[in-house]
């Protein structure tokens, strides 16, 4: 069965939205097969966000992602990679559709800084790589 990595980012955990996010995942019929709370290190984030390492927003992304604990979850189900991305909504909370996690709950401070609650793997290759990074 297909698996994906879901991260509830520090803003989601701090705002006590872990239950809200996981309830949406469970209601949709997906199954959690592993879950833990972790403090991310810069090294882990450099691997996880390898494609963004050289981007101007990377330092702020590290600050955001190390600002508190993250809940990392392996979620399983048919077409779960696409499914969790669909539940999450698009990256920017202002543009994410209402009904999605980011559209309903994400924050946009208008300064370029966004707090979008979740990360989810975007392909089977990313899912395998990210699950290996966060769980092993
Ligand atoms: P998706 O691929 O679902 O659109 O979302 P993502 O969360 O993977 O977004 P991505 O563009 O890959 O960026 C990763 C995370 O970096 C932060 N970000 N900040 N200030 C900015 O311009 C900016 N761009 C990206 C967000 O936390 C985003 O989720
Ligand atoms: Mg991405």
pLDDT of residue 135: 98
The domain that holds 93 is classified in CATH as: 3.30.70.141
Any known ligand binding at 9? Answer: yes
Is the beta carbon of 9 within 6 A of some atom in ligand 1? Answer: no
pLDDT of residue 113: 86
Any known ligand binding at 116? Answer: yes
> pTM of the predicted model, to two decimals?
0.96
pLDDT in tens, 83-120: 999 999 999 999 999 999 999 999 999 988 899 999 99
Is the beta carbon of 41 within 6 A of some atom in ligand 1? Answer: no
Helix axes of 18-27 and 80-88: crossing angle, nearest 10 degrees: 130
Is the beta carbon of 86 within 6 A of some atom in ligand 1? Answer: no
pLDDT in tens, the chain (136 residues): 999 999 999 999 999 999 999 999 999 999 999 999 999 999 999 999 999 999 999 999 999 999 999 999 999 999 999 999 999 999 999 999 999 999 999 999 998 889 999 999 999 999 999 999 999 8
Task: Point out the catalytic residue in the list 4, 119, 121, 127.
Answer: 119
The number of domains in the chain is: 1
Active site residue 119: yes
ipTM over 0.95: no
| Domain extent for 43 | 3-134
Q: What tokens does 70 get?
A: 């993250």
């Amino acid at each position: 069965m297909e698996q994906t990595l879901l991260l509830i980012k520090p803003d989601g955990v701090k705002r006590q939205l872990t239950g809200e996010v996981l309830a949406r995942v469970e209601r949709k019929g997906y199954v959690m097969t592993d879950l833990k709370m972790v403090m991310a290190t810069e090294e882990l984030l450099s691997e996880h966000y390898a494609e963004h390492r050289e981007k101007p927003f990377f330092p702020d992304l590290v600050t955001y992602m190390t600002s508190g604990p993250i809940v990392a979850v392996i979620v399983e189900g048919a077409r779960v990679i696409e499914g969790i991305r669909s539940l999450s909504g698009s990256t920017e909370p202002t543009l994410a559709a209402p009904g999605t996690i980011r559209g309903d709950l994400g924050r946009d401070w208008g300064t370029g800084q966004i707090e979008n609650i979740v990360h989810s793997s975007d392909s089977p290759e990313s899912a395998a790589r990210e699950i290996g990074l966060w769980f092993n």
